[in-house]
Chain A
Amino acid sequence: MTLLDIKNLNLAMTSYEGETQILHGIDLKIERGEIWGMVGETGSGKSLTGLSVSRLIPSPPGRYLAGSIEFQGRDVLKATDKDMRALRGRHIGMIFQDPTTNLNPAFRIGTQLVDVALHAGSADPSVLGLVKGASRSELKKAARRVAVDMLDKVGIPKATERIDDYPHQFSGGMRQRVLIAMAMIGKPDLLIADEPTTALDVSVQAQILRLIHDLVQERNIGVLLITHNLGVVAQVSSHVAVMYRGRILEAGPVGDVLKRPKNSYTQALLNSVPTTHTKRGELKGLNGLVPEVSA
């Protein structure tokens, strides 16, 4: 079964200027084992697409005009709140851009990790390595064990001690790893990463991307990696979709799209990336700005 099948997604957002359509007929299919990079400039609608999969866009101001998002065969847009909460953290994991603001500063990272693990484990104890009917305290102990393991797996040294630390005691790269741990601890089938490396420096970026890549290999999950950075896409994705103003202009295996782009926008994006041969003064940008939609 296709992991994620977005068909003809049309989304409109209301702001004080009225309703504007943001997404126009988005079609996207993600299978297990695929890392789909979603590239586009700021304002192209990529983040909103990602948020839609988890139904994280509140109904005012968002309104879906047409289309469906089928996750493992079930249309997410028709699901209830309860259903969505069952999916989130457990089957769909999500990480966002800024590791500094995405961890609750008043709580130890262990607390937050354990809560996510418990949420996933209460529906399916096998996630924590237990069988159905396990007691509350057993669940808690297992959740903590799983949390330490996860921290270790994402590369946090001395996980057993650091699990009781606060977010401000970690560096930016470490915090993003913690967030990845939180997203993966429920053993999701799909990971949505919205600009996960944008706030990090290049060397850390490479480590995070490798981490995501390894996770995909190990667990055969699907990944939707949203970014404006073509370099990131080239490094780690298996497929890429190019977005512009709410439409997917081009999509396909990463090699095909990046080496033989069919769309001139894609070509222009590729041309704007400086290479070691680019001479001074030769930077090629794209004219104009993506029109602003205030929502």
Chain B
Amino acid sequence: MLLYILRRLILLLPVLFGLTLLLFIVARILPGDPVGLAAGPNATPELIAQMRSELGMDLPLPVQYWNYLTGLVSGDWGMSVFTRRPVVADIMEYLPATIELVFASLLIAVVIGIPLGLLTAVHKNGALDYITRTVALGGIAMPRFFLGLLLQMAFAAWLDILPLSGRYPLIESPPDHVTGLYTLDALIAGDWYAFQVALSHLALPAIAMALSPLATIMRMMRASTIEVLQQDYVMTERALGLSNHLILFKYVLKNAMTSTLTVIGLYVSWLLGGTVLVETVFDWPGLGLYATQAILTQDFMPVIGVTLVIAIIYLITMLIVDLLYGVFNPKVRYA
């Protein structure tokens, strides 16, 4: 098993290599001059040329790529032309916020979606089933950013029970940095007040992101459960007297998880790549905002950096999903 994990991790390397190459080529092919943009409208050609050589961007392309590659491995992911800081530093600053948001959304989607899927499968065509299926249809169609705006209007502006934006009130200081996830750090420090504050800020953005995955996970779970309930082994379990509760929540749940797992894996990519839409609405300082700003200023080192980070997280997630398949379906175990 360990060997399998190791092998998969090693296989990641050529993928990442190909990725960096592809991204580098795409970035250089695309029109646009970040240096010129960053230098500003009043810059003289000499100034621009000086900036360019400072940033090492006047070297031939293969050399630039090689420098970049070696830099990647040693922790130097280039400089952001716009922020004038190393990309790594920028990413380390913005990554925790995005992880916190993605993780919270996934948690909501899974914790609510899976049980709902199970229950509506058992009570097919009941009241709960119709309500949840309708909400699910709407949930998948609802744009995250519009939902975020609506939530803001309703809960922050009109009802005034949740904060409008940001991760933490500006006048207070967030909990001590351990992971960078304010909610987690607050719990680690045992600071209940800080936890509540951080949670209240996290709530609306997480809900805005969670609705679509929640809806799909619920639908998938419902479909799988319906299929599983028709299996012979469920009849045997029932014939031997096991309670409906036990059958559903211990046995059927495990059998139905495989397809849902695939959906969860795919949604991680959707969540990670799309945080910008919700970060914009809630002024959530995450990778999405950082990447967008870099895109708008045609600053491609940060864009490549952010893309790489997200790709790495996605690939590791898929590895975990593959391993979890083995947990839910013993026939595919990797001994």
Interface residues, chain A, with chain B CB atoms under 8 Å away = 54, 56, 85-90, 93-96, 98, 101-107, 112, 115-116, 119-120, 166, 168, 179, 182-183, 186
Q: List 30 A-B contacts (CB under 8 A).
A: A54-B239, A85-B243, A87-B241, A88-B238, A88-B240, A89-B239, A89-B241, A90-B241, A93-B240, A96-B236, A98-B232, A101-B232, A102-B235, A103-B236, A104-B233, A104-B234, A104-B251, A112-B237, A115-B242, A115-B246, A116-B240, A119-B243, A166-B330, A166-B331, A168-B330, A168-B331, A182-B236, A183-B240, A186-B240, A186-B241
Interface residues, chain B, with chain A CB atoms under 8 Å away = 231-243, 246, 250-251, 254-255, 328-331
Assuming the contacts A89-B241, A89-B242, A186-B240, asked whether A56 and B235 have C-beta atoms less than 8 A apart, the reply is yes
Assuming the contacts A98-B232, A168-B330, asked whether A56 and B238 have C-beta atoms less than 8 A apart, the reply is yes
* Contact in complex: A120, B238 (CB < 8 Å): no
Residue from the list A93, A95, A119 in contact with B242, Cβ < 8 A: A119
* Contact in complex: A182, B240 (CB < 8 Å): yes
Residue from the list B235, B238, B242, B329 in contact with A106, Cβ < 8 A: B329
User: What is the minimal beta-carbon distance from A88 to any residue of chain B, in angstroms?
Assistant: 4
CA A119 to CA B241, docked complex, whole Å: 7
Residue from the list A86, A89, A96, A107 in contact with B235, Cβ < 8 A: A96
Inter-chain contact count A-B, CB under 8 Å? 76
Residue from the list B239, B246, B328 in contact with A94, Cβ < 8 A: B239
Assuming the contacts A106-B330, A107-B254, asked whether A101 and B241 have C-beta atoms less than 8 A apart, the reply is no
Residue of A nearest to B246 (CB): A115
* Contact in complex: B240, A89 (CB < 8 Å): yes
CA A116 to CA B250, docked complex, whole Å: 13
Best-buried of B238, B239, B250 by chain A (most CB within 10 Å):
B239
CA A52 to CA B65, docked complex, whole Å: 74
* Contact in complex: B233, A101 (CB < 8 Å): yes
Assuming the contacts A96-B232, A96-B235, A115-B246, asked whether A105 and B329 have C-beta atoms less than 8 A apart, the reply is yes
* Contact in complex: A104, B241 (CB < 8 Å): no
* Contact in complex: A102, B240 (CB < 8 Å): no
Residue of B nearest to A104 (CB): B233
Residue of B nearest to A86 (CB): B241
Could you say which residues of chain A place their CB within 8 Å of the CB of B233? 101-105
Could you say which residues of chain B place their CB within 8 Å of the CB of A93? 240
Could you say which residues of chain B place their CB within 8 Å of the CB of A107? 251, 254
Residue of A nearest to B254 (CB): A106
* Contact in complex: A88, B239 (CB < 8 Å): yes
CA A96 to CA B231, docked complex, whole Å: 12
A-B CB proximity, top 8 nearest = A89-B241, A88-B241, A89-B240, A101-B232, A94-B239, A104-B233, A166-B330, A102-B236
